[in-house]
Amino acid sequence: MRLLLIRHGQTPANVNGVLDAEVPGPGLTDLGQQQADALPAALADRGIERLFVSTMVRTQITAAPLAASLGLEPVALPGLREIEAGDTQGKSDKVSVQTYISTVHGWSGGDRTTRMPGGESGTEFFERYDDAVRQIVASGVEVAAAFSHGAAIRTWASAASRNTPDHFGTQRNLENTGIVEVEGSFEDGWRLVDWEGEPVGGEQLIDRTAQDPTGERF
């Protein structure tokens, strides 16, 4: 199958560089809503048959315009949520941001036993994200779109894709409504098809001033 992993639209936390992985979390900024509104036209010809979202509000709001245009009801999967921030939740200082990023970077480097301080381990993250993707595969469709989160998409897609090194996502940006496209299966392996790091819909939807730690290169 072909899976489009779409990062949610911009949130206030993205603007201010705050680590926020609590469920259900915040909604979107005005720009975030504009980014979401651009998705139907941008993805009209992609053949999407099913939509999936995380249990975080920002993915659900982002998916709503596309869902309405396609006449689809998004399915919420808890495993698609952002990587837990643990002790760094709600913080924006350099030490906290570096702790979060370095932990995720370590998972990408192969050390999945390390635990986010006060949060989940790499092993636990991959298990629950794999489970979510298995549920998407089980839907039986050829093309699906899943609305998820910056660090989660970058980390899972890079590790799952056989044609990229596990740390690939640490070297690529994934701004709000950026899309990572993979194809394949767990049995035959996944392959990275495309990495669209900037928001779909044009440069006017890019916020160059946002302090977005999970969207920038690690």
Give the catalytic positions in this structure: 8, 82
How far is it, in rounded angstroms, from Cα 77 to Cα 92? Answer: 27
The answer to whether the beta carbons of residues 66 and 43 sit under 8 Å apart is: yes
How far is it, in rounded angstroms, from Cα 190 to Cα 157? Answer: 9
Determine phi and psi for 3, rounding to 5 degrees: -125, 125
The answer to whether the beta carbons of residues 54 and 83 sit under 8 Å apart is: no
- Hey, what are 166's tokens? 């596990």
CA 74, 78, 80, 81: dihedral to nearest 10 degrees? 110
The answer to whether the beta carbons of residues 170 and 217 sit under 8 Å apart is: yes
Q: What is the largest CA-CA distance in the chain?
A: 44
How far is it, in rounded angstroms, from Cα 177 to Cα 116? Answer: 25
By DSSP bridging, strand 179-185 and strand 2-7 are antiparallel
- Hey, what are 163's tokens? 């044609």
Residues facing residue 192 across a β-bridge: 182
